[in-house]
Structure 1
Amino acid sequence: MSGTVVRVGERRVRLTNLDKVLYPEAGFTKAEVIDYYTRIAPVLLPHLAGRPVTVRRFPDGVGGGSFFEKNAPSHVPEWVRTVRIPTPGSSRGAEFLDFVVVQELATLVWLANAAALELHVPQWVVGARGARRSPDLVVFDLDPGAPATVVECCRVAERVRAVLEGDGLSPVVKTSGSKGLQVYARVRVSSPERPVRYAEAVARRLAAESPGEVVWSMARALRPGKVLVDWSQNNPAKTTVAPYSLRAREVPSVSAPVTWAEVRGCRSPGDLVFVADEVRARVERDGDLFALGDPARLPG
């Protein structure tokens, strides 16, 4: 196999086709994808730690086909950590899948070389022996139905924040890297189902208070011009895009943590679009804006 072998920490990783353009509109190459993930790793890796990752790969770039990959490929390096997770109801009919867990920079570089542009993780971690623990995050995925935009998502995000803070949580917020916003808080729960029940209750409350602006139901017919507060992402079987992950848009946009002041000041969709270079500069200036506080117990 051709390519360049580089040393990443204690590992040796083979890199291939570094000049391949993965974002044609921006001329952003695989080498630049690897460079981005390498440079952003100090703030990204803590948010991936212990979380089985589902990747979305684009071997021919964002203009070509893509596929989600949960199961670790047969050629996974022996030093990459994998965990076997039960997957009842899997579309592939598999009772178990072997997920990659990104616990070091070399694994991140290996994935980037495989054109795994997007990294998606659940709201729970696995322990040292691979056992799944209860969720430690609750997430609200705010998705605008056209003609609503991220501007309307910002107004809803502020209301989600008020509810969560009223319940003793410490929410943080990031862009989806696509059209919407995602609000997270670190939690302690008594059962795996608790976050999804809590999130649904909050979504229903906001929709009842502002039926012209917010919808909690997934029915697409109800969504035009409104913001869907997607509570279902808290289902333990689901994942959301990781903070600092690239997204497969026309340009290398990022699921970028933002401040609540930026949310409050957002007046145009372009206000909260950040590409790879901008996110690196923000981290150098501000550190990790997605630093989660101490966990709080969900009420109820």
Structure 2
Amino acid sequence: MAGEEQLVEVGGRTLRLRNLDKVLYPSTGTTKGELLHYLTGVAGLLLPHLRDRPATRKRWPDGVEAGPTFFEKNVPRGAPSWLRDVTLPAPGSTKDREMVTYPLIDDLAGLMWAANLAALELHVPQWRVGPRGAAKNPDLLVIDLDPGPPAGLPQCAEVALAVRERLQEDGLDPHPVTSGGKGMQLYAAVSGKQDSATVSDYAHRLAEELEKSLPRLVVSRMNKNLRKNRVLLDWSQNNGAKTTICPFSPRGRERPTAAAPRSWDELSDPGSLLQLEFGDVLERIEDVGDPLASSLPSGGATGVGPKVPTS
């Protein structure tokens, strides 16, 4: 019944789960219990992408069709004592003038805790924290492909292939993730030896270059009046203060979609490319696992990618 609580043991942690039959996605009747089922199924693939990255959560306490919804950075009151956290200067603030204590979600119990609070999205930066809690240099470069209507996934796939070719010229090995929203992201491992500003500047130059070579399809500027039927190459996600939806994270959309790593072969047939829902992701990981796992850093690994060119 609605309002009931259950005490469960997850990896030696005790959790108090509430309202498991609460509908979070009314269009499909998807409940909090089904959200927890999805997260349990993908935890082994999702957690390496979350590990040691401060997690910003977007919460929908009353489901995706009702308010309020809000981003949450700080660890809220009542969080379990076993939840790891890290205190860092707030994004954009003067150093040490304002601090935020973020959760570090690195086990299934942490995922269950976040989902129990109706945190339907998990957003992370492209950098990790070290063992003493200091922010490291980024180990990922991300290009966010955001289509302006009526453009959609087919146009994103066409642009993604062009971005891939350009990144490979510089020795980077990008991999696509459909966002669960409108577009997709491309991730590439970088060395961890350059700061966020250097990586962001490189991504900006790349976006401007592709805008010049594909002017009818690509835009590098945020102006909304420029984006109709074109794909924004959002290079700004590499700013050290920015976060991006984590691969395998659920999304707070009308339907229960998720950010889903894809293969380049799938992008070769853009007309059949769709955003994937929970059941789709759970079914496909039995066959393909995580297409990102072999080439992107996980579990604190560093130095697995190249430096980006600085000019």
What TM-score do the two structures reach when normalised by structure 1? 0.96
Within a 5 Å distance, the mapping from 1:240-279 to structure 2 comes to 240-268=244-272, 271-279=273-281
Counterpart position of 1:115: 118
Equivalent of residue 190 in structure 1, options 178, 194, 201: 194
Equivalent of residue 131 in structure 1, options 118, 129, 134: 134
Equivalent of residue 287 in structure 1, options 274, 286, 289: 289
> Displacement of 1:191 after TM fit?
2.4
**1:132-188, Cα deviation, whole Å (9 max, x unpaired):** 000110000001111111110110000110011111111111011111010010101
1:159 matched to 2:162? The reply is: yes
- Helix, strand or coil for the counterpart of 1:297? coil
Counterpart position of 2:237: 233
> Displacement of 1:89 after TM fit?
3.5
| Rounded Cα–Cα distance in structure 2 between residues aligned with 1:5 and 1:201 | 52
1:106 matched to 2:109? The reply is: yes
1:57 matched to 2:80? The reply is: no
> Displacement of 1:218 after TM fit?
0.5
| Rounded Cα–Cα distance in structure 2 between residues aligned with 1:183 and 1:205 | 17
Counterpart position of 1:30: 32
| Rounded Cα–Cα distance in structure 1 between residues aligned with 2:203 and 2:102 | 26
Where does the alignment leave 5 or more consecutive residues of structure 2 unmatched? 296-303
Residues 179 and 275 in structure 2, CA contact (< 8 A), matched pair in contact too: no
Residues 59 and 114 in structure 1, CA contact (< 8 A), matched pair in contact too: yes
> Displacement of 1:88 after TM fit?
4.9
Counterpart position of 2:148: 145
Counterpart position of 2:50: 48
> Displacement of 1:299 after TM fit?
1.8
CA 1:264/1:115 → structure 2, altered by over 3 Å: closer, same or farther? Answer: same
What TM-score do the two structures reach when normalised by structure 2? 0.92
CA 1:159/1:89 → structure 2, altered by over 3 Å: closer, same or farther? Answer: same
> Displacement of 1:266 after TM fit?
1.1
| Rounded Cα–Cα distance in structure 1 between residues aligned with 2:164 and 2:184 | 12
Identity %: 48
Counterpart position of 1:299: 309
Counterpart position of 1:217: 221
**1:226-274, Cα deviation, whole Å (9 max, x unpaired):** 1100000100000000000111111101111111011111115xx2221
Residues 196 and 238 in structure 2, CA contact (< 8 A), matched pair in contact too: no
Counterpart position of 2:22: 20
| Rounded Cα–Cα distance in structure 2 between residues aligned with 1:267 and 1:222 | 24
Counterpart position of 1:176: 179
Name the amino acid aligned to 2:228: P
| Rounded Cα–Cα distance in structure 2 between residues aligned with 1:42 and 1:97 | 28
1:72 matched to 2:75? The reply is: yes
> Displacement of 1:290 after TM fit?
1.9
| Rounded Cα–Cα distance in structure 2 between residues aligned with 1:10 and 1:147 | 49
CA 1:177/1:155 → structure 2, altered by over 3 Å: closer, same or farther? Answer: same
Where does the alignment leave 5 or more consecutive residues of structure 1 unmatched? none
- Helix, strand or coil for the counterpart of 1:82? strand
Residues 145 and 225 in structure 1, CA contact (< 8 A), matched pair in contact too: yes
Number of aligned residue pairs: give it: 296
**1:103-145, Cα deviation, whole Å (9 max, x unpaired):** 1110111111111010000000001111100011000000111
Name the amino acid aligned to 2:287: R
CA 1:88/1:9 → structure 2, altered by over 3 Å: closer, same or farther? Answer: closer
| Rounded Cα–Cα distance in structure 2 between residues aligned with 1:245 and 1:88 | 22
Residues 156 and 183 in structure 2, CA contact (< 8 A), matched pair in contact too: yes
1:39 matched to 2:41? The reply is: yes
| Rounded Cα–Cα distance in structure 1 between residues aligned with 2:138 and 2:121 | 22
CA 1:10/1:179 → structure 2, altered by over 3 Å: closer, same or farther? Answer: same
